[in-house]
Amino acid sequence: MTGKRPPSIREALKTLVRLGLIENISSDVQHPVYRVVVESKKFVALSLLAYAVIDDRDGTDCMDTAIQDYYNSSLRAKVEPLAIAMNYTGKWTIGGEYSERDTDSGYVTFAAGA
């Protein structure tokens, strides 16, 4: 299908395995089966690069969408705290005029009044 000879294909597959981009999931030496290691950061980076190429060519926002999806699914829980605590001795006042909702993230910000 590629027009390449089997030795060059085998060498390319060995390189991809060594880089951690694919892994052999079969025990058949004659007809190995490989799968992409989608958990690999290198795979994620190459995917973003592919989206960047499409964006530059077609003027789309595929890479931005992919980055946002990656952040929401893989990074948000690691980098955003669930709650922020602080030492405040005043009186907390929460009301409509003191809160703000971010429609994109769903987060609500409350301001304290004394």
**Would 21 be classed as within a structural domain?**
yes
Q: How many domains does the chain have?
A: 2
Residue at 73 is within a domain: yes
Structural domain for 23, as ranges: 7-37
Using the 8-state DSSP alphabet, how is residue 22 labeled?
E
Please indicate, yes or no, if residue 100 is contained in any of the structural domains. Answer: no
How far is residue 29's CA from residue 43's CA, in Å, rounded to a whole number?
25
Residue 114 lies in a domain: no
Q: The whole model's pTM is what?
A: 0.59
pLDDT value at residue 79: 84
Say whether both 18 and 31 belong to one domain: yes
> Is residue 66 within 8 Å of 48, Cβ to Cβ?
yes
Looking at the structure, do residues 31 and 50 belong to the same domain, yes or no? no
What pLDDT score does 81 carry?
74
Better pLDDT: 75 or 93? 75
48, part of any domain:
yes
> pLDDT tens digit string along 21-50?
999 999 998 889 999 999 999 999 999 999
State whether 28 and 55 are in the same domain: no
Asked, for residue 45, whether it belongs to a domain, the answer is yes
Q: Examine residue 32 and state whether it is found in any structural domain, yes or no.
A: yes
**How many angstroms separate the first and last alpha carbons of the chain?**
72
CB-CB contact of 35 with 22 (8 Å): yes
Q: Is residue 22 part of a domain?
A: yes
